[in-house]
Amino acid sequence: MTTYAILIQNRVAAMNVDAYNRSAIAGSDVDLQNGSVFRLDTLEAGSSGCEVWAVTAPATSTSTLNNLWMAYSPEVNTLVSGTKMYRGLSPDPRDFYNAGAYVFDAFKPQVGDIVTLTADAFTSAISSNTYLNAADGVYTLTPGASQTTSALSLQLIDTTYVSLADGSISTQRVTAYKFVVLAN
């Protein structure tokens, strides 16, 4: 079974500044988990007055690995069966993702923000790497041994855990990593 990232906003400027929050929509073929990063350069076609922004993958070809946004929607799981959608059937936040072609919430990480992410938010294991960086053409952050210049970069400050209310006894804790935003 696929699990998705859990994102906790520990200390984030977007909690107090509305301008750092947006509604976004990705293409129907792009499902994004919380913690995914992307550009929001243009309004979605036909969203006049609604301010729904179109998601674009980070790309070095346009020198835009910075000024990125991060997916962060309330984790209300949705089960799709044919044309019907059922919400809230699973209490496990690891079952949640932002389905393509549906509007979701995003915030713009600011230098000094502190967020906690589970390992599903990274392209590979943290191991000895203590940084997460935006990478060309991918929505997932990439672990590295150093900060990437002119890119969204986060530095590991603590290894912790997230408690889950999934009804089980032995799997209620999931390893998580606390990061501070160094650049965006």
Is 54 within the bounds of a domain? yes
- Tokens 């965006």 correspond to 184
- Tell me the Ramachandran region of residue 34: left when phi exceeds 0, alpha when psi lies from -120 to 50, beta otherwise: beta
Question: Could you read off the pLDDT of 92-129 as tens digits, one per residue?
Answer: 777 777 878 888 999 999 999 999 999 888 888 787 77
Is 1 within the bounds of a domain? no
- Tell me the Ramachandran region of residue 119: left when phi exceeds 0, alpha when psi lies from -120 to 50, beta otherwise: alpha
Q: How many domains does one find in the chain?
A: 1
Q: What is the pTM of this model?
A: 0.86
Q: Which domain holds residue 176?
A: 7-183
Question: Could you read off the pLDDT of 28-69 as tens digits, one per residue?
Answer: 889 899 999 999 988 887 766 678 999 999 987 666 788 999
Kindly tell me the burial class for residue 6, based on how many C-beta atoms sit within 10 Å of its own C-beta (0-12, 13-18, 19 or more). Answer: buried
Length of the chain: 184
Is 119 within the bounds of a domain? yes
Q: How far apart are CA 37 and CA 33, in angstroms?
A: 9
For the chain, the average pLDDT equals 85
Is 35 within the bounds of a domain? yes
pLDDT band at residue 158 under the 50/70/90 scheme: very high
Is 132 within the bounds of a domain? yes
Give Cα 24 to chain centroid, integer Å.
12
Asked if residue 179 has pLDDT above 80, the reply is: yes
Is 64 within the bounds of a domain? yes
Is 20 within the bounds of a domain? yes
